[in-house]
């Protein structure tokens, strides 16, 4: 039977029986001869950054890159086991035991480490990234991408002047842009006659359904656009039979 403060009875082990190891340890970084205190609850990466020691972390510390890796020069026995994420990378890259990911590792004793990626160029890159106030090189997002281009534009445009082609393209882009925006998407880029739109940047609910809805509406708008071209230029982008076969393959 165990008692808290001599008054409360409990079947569980006491929170502190006075035999725990010290909660704060020393982390020595050989480059620059820095020594900082590190708590058992914090990773190397967090501790380094909190102490304003530059340290690369391209994925933002989620165990998806190798830029934060360090070499443990002494105190490997005090380091936590590799996490699942770290193990995956370590196996893939055949890393020796002494090479560890700074964002994944915690310690319960004093260690001496060497950062592996931090030459002058790395440092400049790191500084540039922190100036941009970005914690990482990028962010992993779940987005839906809609990409479309115009079938048959090249032969169609060969019969027209450059100005007409630009005029037609601008008209086409403006129609399709409206459809994309009205379905909650954003045009990310125009590449020649192609449009790259992204759904889910601001609002992720039903982003894929909204993208499909936009694509179907774009086909309807394309019907009208074809009619417009036939009236204005006596030409169509693709032949009637091709157009019907494209639409039937899409089930519209
Ligand atoms: S910062 Fe990417 S794995 Fe540590």
Q: How far apart are CA 246 and CA 251, in angstroms?
A: 9
pLDDT at 138: 63
**What domains are defined for the chain?**
21-131 (3.10.20.30), 144-249 (3.30.70.1230)
Residues framing ligand 1 (Cβ under 6 A): 57-59, 61, 63-65, 67-68, 101, 103
DSSP run (H or E) holding 222 = helix 207-233
What pLDDT, on the 0 to 100 scale, is given for residue 126? 59
Q: What is the pTM of this model?
A: 0.52
Rounded to the nearest whole angstrom, what is the distance from the C-alpha of residue 63 to the centroid of ligand 1?
4
CA dist 155 and 233 (Å) reads 14
**Atom in ligand 1 nearest the alpha carbon of residue 86:** 3
Residue 114 CA to ligand 1 centre (angstroms): 16
pLDDT tens digit sequence for 98-149 = 999 999 999 999 999 998 876 656 666 656 655 554 445 567 789 999 999 9
Report the pLDDT averaged over residues 242-251: 57
67 CA → ligand 1 middle, Å = 6
d(CA 95, CA 64): 15
Which atom of ligand 1 lies closest to the CA of 89? Answer: 3
Take residue 219 and report the two structure tokens written for it. 């086909």
φ, ψ of residue 136 in degrees (nearest 5): -140, 170
Residues with Cβ within 8 Å of 186's Cβ and at least 6 positions away in sequence, in order, are 180, 197, 198, 199, 201, 202
Predicted pLDDT at 7? 45
Q: Which protein residue has the closest C-alpha to ligand 1 atom 3?
A: 63
Q: Note whether 60 and 135 are within 8 A (CB).
A: yes
Question: Going along the chain, which residue ranges are E strands?
Answer: 2-4, 8-10, 24-29, 34-39, 69-74, 99-101, 111-115, 144-148, 185-191, 194-199
From 84, 103, 106, the mutation candidate for ligand 1 (largest count of ligand atoms within 8 A of CB) is 103
Q: How far is the CA of 85 from the centre of ligand 1 (A)?
A: 10
Mean pLDDT of 204-215: 94
Contacts for 22 with CB less than 8 Å, ≥ 6 apart: none
Confidence category of residue 18, pLDDT binned at 50, 70, 90: very low
């Amino acid at each position: 039977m165990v008692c808290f403060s001599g008054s409360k009875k409990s079947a569980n082990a006491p929170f502190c029986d006075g035999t725990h190891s010290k909660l704060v340890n020393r982390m020595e970084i050989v480059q620059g001869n820095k020594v900082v205190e590190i708590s058992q609850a914090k990773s190397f990466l967090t501790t380094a950054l909190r102490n304003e020691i530059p340290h690369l972390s391209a994925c933002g510390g989620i165990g998806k890159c190798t830029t934060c890796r360090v070499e443990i020069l002494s105190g490997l026995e005090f380091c936590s086991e590799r996490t699942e994420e770290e193990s995956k990378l370590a196996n893939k890259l055949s890393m020796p035991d002494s090479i560890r990911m700074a964002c994944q590792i915690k310690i319960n004793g004093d260690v001496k480490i060497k950062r592996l990626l931090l030459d002058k160029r790395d440092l400049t890159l790191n500084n540039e990234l922190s100036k941009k106030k970005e914690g990482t090189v990028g962010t992993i997002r779940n987005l839906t991408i809609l990409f479309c281009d115009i079938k048959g534009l090249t032969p169609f445009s060969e019969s027209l002047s450059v100005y007409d082609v630009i005029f037609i393209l601008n008209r086409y882009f403006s129609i399709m842009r409206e459809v994309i925006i009205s379905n909650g998407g954003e045009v990310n880029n125009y590449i020649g006659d192609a449009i790259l739109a992204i759904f889910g940047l601001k609002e992720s609910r039903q982003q894929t359904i909204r993208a499909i809805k936009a694509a179907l509406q774009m086909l309807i708008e394309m019907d009208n656009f074809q009619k417009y071209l036939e009236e204005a230029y006596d030409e169509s982008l693709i032949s009637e039979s091709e157009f019907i076969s494209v639409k039937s393959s899409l089930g519209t």
